[in-house]
Amino acid sequence: MSAHAKTISLTVNGTRVEASVPPRQHLGDFLRERELLTGTHLGCEHGVCGACTILIDGEPARSCITYAVACDGRSVTTVEGLDDDPLAAELREAFSAEHGLQCGFCTPGMLVAARDVVLRRPDADNPAIRTAMSGNLCRCTGYVGIVNAIRRVIDARNTNAG
Amino acid sequence: MKAVDFDYAQPATLDAALELLAREDVMVRPVAGSQSLGPMLNLRLAQPELLVDITRIAELRTIRQEGDRLVIGACVTHARLEDGDYPDVTRGVLPSVAAVIAYRAVRNRGTIGGSLAHADPAADWVNVLTALGADVVIAGPGGRRSVPMTDFILGVFETALQPGEIVAEIQVPALSDRARWGYYKVCRKTGEFSHATGAVLVDPARGVQRCVAGATSGKPVVIDGPALFADGCTEAALAAHLDGSPAADDPIALRTHTVALKRAIAQVMS
CATH of the domain at B68: 3.30.465.10
A:B CB pairs within 8 Å? 90
Q: Residue B225 is part of a domain; what is its CATH number?
A: 3.30.390.50
- Same domain for A76 and A94, yes or no, is no
For residue B139, give the 3-state DSSP assignment. strand
Domain boundary among A81, A102, A119: A81
Question: Quick check: A134 and B4 CB within 8 A?
Answer: no
Name the residue type at position B105. A
From the list A22, A46, A53, which residue is nearest B42 (CB)? A46
- pLDDT given for residue B229 in this prediction: 85
Domain count, chain A: 2
Using the predicted structure, report yes or no on whether residue B231 has a pLDDT greater than 80. Answer: no
Compare all CA atoms of chain B with the CA of A50 and give the residue at the minimum distance: B105
Calculate the average pLDDT of chain B. Answer: 95
Using the predicted structure, report yes or no on whether residue A161 has a pLDDT greater than 90. Answer: no
- Shortest CA gap A67–chain B (Å): 8
By residue range, what is the domain housing residue B110? 62-173
- Same domain for B68 and B145, yes or no, is yes
Domain boundary among A64, A81, A98: A81
By residue range, what is the domain housing residue A45? 6-81
- Same domain for B112 and B162, yes or no, is yes
- Same domain for A76 and A89, yes or no, is no
Domain boundary among A63, A81, A99: A81
- Shortest CA gap B4–chain A (Å): 7
| Residue B167 CB neighbour total at 10 angstroms | 27
Residues A44-102: tens digit of each pLDDT: 999 999 999 999 999 999 999 999 999 999 999 999 999 999 999 999 999 999 999 99
- Same domain for A89 and A157, yes or no, is yes
- Same domain for A71 and A21, yes or no, is yes
CA A61 centroid distance within chain: 8
Residues B32-56: tens digit of each pLDDT: 999 999 999 999 999 999 999 999 9
List strands edge to edge, sheet with B180-186. B180-186, B196-203, B208-214, B221-224
- Same domain for A114 and A55, yes or no, is no
Domain boundary among B113, B146, B173: B173
Q: What sign results for the dihedral spanned by CA atoms B55, B66, B18, B149? A: positive
Residues of A with Cβ-Cβ distance to B185 under 8 angstroms: none
- Same domain for A47 and A108, yes or no, is no
The reply to whether A4 touches chain B by the CB within 8 Å rule is: yes
Q: Residue A72 is part of a domain; what is its CATH number?
A: 3.10.20.30
Mutate to test the interface with B, among A65, A72, A116, A150 (most CBs of B within 10 A): A65
| Residue A39 CB neighbour total at 10 angstroms | 18
